[in-house]
Structure 1
């Protein structure tokens, strides 16, 4: 994934999540609910946004890598 210089708002991340939720592992959805219930740093919001961006178009291997990173973030916030 390339680095993006844009800052994404919590609303941006929520919208991106909604557009990709059908493609994410079912057990991750509860973790996202907990994530959105709290405030997070701009850096973390940007990271989660980019992990979700075009998730549906990613290869199986890329999805596995993104899932690992998402679980790491979501379980530690």
Structure 2
């Protein structure tokens, strides 16, 4: 995944998760919600945000890769 220099707030990440909720596998969505209740550093917030970013527009292959990465994080 590409990296960017913008720091995303917890609120940004929660909003992105909400936006993508209907496209994500239910287990990943639920685990991400719980994961975001933990005290996360900026690097982790950015990582989760970028995995969720444009999830709905991704090909099945890209979605599967994002799913693997999200499961590793959470």
What is the TM-score of this pair, normalised by structure 1? 0.91
Moved more, 59-68 or 29-38: 29-38
The runs of 5 or more residues in structure 2 that have no matched partner are: none
Please tell me whether residue 61 in structure 1 is matched to residue 56 in structure 2.
Answer: no
Provide the C-alpha distance between the structure 2 equivalents of 1:44 and 1:53, rounded to a whole number of angstroms.
14
Cα-Cα RMSD: 0.9
The runs of 5 or more residues in structure 1 that have no matched partner are: none
After TM superposition, the structure 1 = structure 2 runs for residues 42-57 of structure 1, keeping only pairs within 5 Å, are 42-57=42-57
How far the C-alpha of 1:3 sits from its partner, in A, is 1.6
After TM superposition, the structure 1 = structure 2 runs for residues 12-23 of structure 1, keeping only pairs within 5 Å, are 12-23=12-23
Question: How many residue pairs get matched?
Answer: 74
**4+ runs of 1 displaced by more than 4 Å?**
none
Moved more, 63-72 or 33-42: 33-42
